[in-house]
Amino acid sequence: MPEEKSSYDEGSLQLARIDTLLQDINLRNANLVVQDLDLGDYNYQIKYNNLLSLFGEVTGNVSTDEQKIQTRYKDMIDNLFLSSNPHQEKKVIGGWGTIKKEMQFSQIYFDSLKKLLYFYELFIRKLIDKYFRSKKEENKSGKQIY
């Protein structure tokens, strides 16, 4: 009895997820400081979560060295969020001696995070290219066509 092909194609779905995440990252790169009111997070946080999701898509293919690099990036970024988050809630004294909470932004912390996210994004994009570039994109000489 011949095998029946399923309409479920994990490879296509995975590529669609990768494409959606990359598109979202590209949109958020335009202004990482803006807060997404629907999600309640800043674009730099959403970008980071998208990069983690992208790594999740390739994690089954990566080498041990690539996994170690990923872990280092993740640890550095997580530590920056904990110790030097660009947006921090501060208590300030208002009128009549009342204490209120105010969100304050640090450009120095943001610049550090932005730079680290940039290099992490390059690393993830190289993994995507390495593991998901279609064989159909290669011409007869073996060179990749972009």
The label of the residue with tokens 């030097």 reads: 84
pLDDT digits (tens, 9 = 90+) for 102-127: 889 999 999 999 999 999 999 999 99
As for how many domains the chain has, the answer is 1
Contact assessment for residue 77 and residue 48, using Cβ atoms and an 8 Å cutoff: yes
Q: Is residue 46 part of a domain?
A: yes
pTM of the predicted structure, to 2 decimals: 0.81
Domain that holds residue 88: 10-132
Q: Is 54 helix (H, G, I), strand (E, B) or coil?
A: helix
Classify the C-alpha dihedral 138-139-144-146 as positive or negative. Answer: negative
Mean pLDDT over residues 14-20, rounded?
A: 93
Residue 2 lies in a domain: no
Name the residue with higher pLDDT: 111 or 141: 111
